[in-house]
Amino acid sequence: MATTVHNETFMQPVVAFLKGNGTLAALVALGVIFGVMDEAFFTPRNITNLARQTTIIGIISVGMTMVIIINGIDLSVGSIVGLSAIVVTLLMQQGMNMWLAVLITLLVAGVVIGLWNGFWIAHYNIPPFIITLGMYTIARGLALTLSGGSSVPVTDPGFAKLGGAYIPPTTSGGIIVAALGGFVFSLWRELQQKKMYNVNIRVHQMVASAVITVAGLGLAFYVFTAYRGIPYPVVIFFIIAFVGTFVMSNTMFGRRLYAVGGNEEAARLSGIRIYRVKLIVYAVTTTLSALSGILLASRLNGASPNLGTMFELDAISAVIIGGTSFTGGVGTISGTVIGAFIIGILNNGMSLLGVPMFYQLIIKGLIIILAVWFDVLNKRKTV
């Protein structure tokens, strides 16, 4: 009898952790499944390529998370990827400096288009689905017009390094060790704060979090030091994700996003400037999409007007799988990062196994439906 009680006591925090981190458990399970089905999956080269490929959708998904949290949507992100790739390559083809071309592309294909979307949505209260669907068509049309319907090669040899270069393995290992040190320090500081304010310390959860983090960093150390190092886009993605997490968790602006998504009218009555919030959020989303287009053009060493097709599907999938509620007010950037890697693992694993592309689309569509279904079930339980 005592043994049974002990086991129940031990299993309770484990079950609670799994319920609170189901997306992370799904990520690990998918990795194990594909690793068993194809031995090439867990090779350093494949994991490195997987991480680099995931960054393109991951960067877009950070902005999409903010949009969905305020109970919006942006269907134009995939077209903006294609447009920005065309714009940056054409500017360099005209002899413009690489960094100036990147800056102008971020401003024109990113900030300006985002402000345009946000203006119609916030000022005239037009459903974001309609406005962004219109921009989806406009941006794709602009990409086809500017390029003449054909691919545009990259003329600046230095541009390829932006999306295709690697941090050397030794330096990459040092960065990962430093990240581990930062995690240990943050864990120690959290413990000190809880002791200071006499807050109950959930040892099992903290231990589980520490084990998962150390395991993840250990895998990253093995992968990136055994192959060519950390790809530049992966570093850019994690910096953006870190900044996004900090903004959403520790700033007044982040709290305003949750307030607007939870109840827009109540947020308006409390003094939050809804118009400004929506303008900023849509501008951030399109700018991050433009950055993804630039990185993709750099990695491919060229641009096609059809780049980014269906990227909006993957980005929305990553956000919803990561736990963000489609009705707004609930979600985290960290959950989206996990969701992006789930999409990345699905794409990579199914490609390794030779699953036809149309089956891949069916599977990802079903995943979106299941994720929204779980979100609806969770909302019913809390009501």
Of 286, 294, 318, the residue nearest 80 (C-alpha) = 286
Distance CA 122, CA 203 (A): 45
**131 DSSP β-pair partners:** none
User: pLDDT truncated to tens, each residue of the chain (383 aa)?
Assistant: 445 545 555 556 555 655 667 788 888 888 999 999 998 999 999 999 999 999 999 999 999 999 999 999 999 999 999 999 999 999 999 999 999 999 999 999 999 999 999 999 999 999 999 999 999 999 999 999 999 999 999 988 899 999 999 999 999 999 999 999 988 888 888 777 777 766 666 666 677 777 888 888 999 999 999 999 999 999 999 999 999 999 999 999 999 999 999 999 999 999 999 999 999 999 999 999 999 999 999 999 999 999 999 999 899 989 999 989 988 999 999 999 999 999 999 999 999 989 898 888 888 788 778 877 876 776 666 55
CA distance 243 to 236: 11
Angle in degrees, 0-180, between the axes of helices 44-69 and 311-321, rounded to the nearest 10: 80
Q: H-type helices in 21-127, by residue range? A: 22-37, 44-69, 77-93, 98-105, 113-123
| Domain limits, the chain | 42-165+232-310+318-336, 169-228
SS3 call for 303: strand
CA nearest to 286, candidates 157, 119, 163, 125 = 119
Q: What is the pLDDT of residue 59?
A: 97
Element (H, E) at 210: helix 203-226
In the chain, the largest separation of any two C-alpha atoms, in whole Å, equals: 79
d(CA 355, CA 347): 9
What pLDDT shows up at residue 229? Answer: 95
Q: Cα–Cα distance between 11 and 24 in angstroms, integer? A: 18
Contact indicator for 63, 241 with CB cutoff of 8 Å? no
* Structure token digits, residue 379: 């909302």
Residues with Cβ within 8 Å of 124's Cβ and at least 6 positions away in sequence, in order, are none
What pLDDT shows up at residue 359? 87
- pLDDT of 81 reads 97
Confidence (pLDDT) at 246: 94
- What is the pairing mode between strands 302-303 and 152-153? antiparallel
Amino acid present at 261: G
**Residue 203 and residue 323: Cα distance in Å, rounded?**
24
- Predicted local confidence at residue 201, as pLDDT: 63
Question: In one letter, which amino acid is 282?
Answer: Y
Half-sphere exposure of 53 (CA within 13 A, CB side): 17
pTM of the model: 0.91
Eight-class DSSP state of 167: E
Report the 10 Å Cβ neighbour count for 97: 12
Query: Collapsing DSSP states into helix, strand and coil, what is residue 101?
Result: helix
DSSP letter string, 267-302: HHHTT--HHHHHHHHHHHHHHHHHHHHHHHHHHHTE
pLDDT of residue 9: 54
DSSP 118-161: HHHHHHS---HHHHHHHHHHHHHHHHHHHHTTS-EE---GGGHH
**How wide is the angle at C-alpha 26 spanned by C-alphas 23 and 29, nearest 5°?**
155
Q: Taking the CB of residue 374, how many other CB atoms lie within 10 A of it?
A: 14
Task: Judge contact between 157 and 302, C-beta under 8 A.
Answer: no
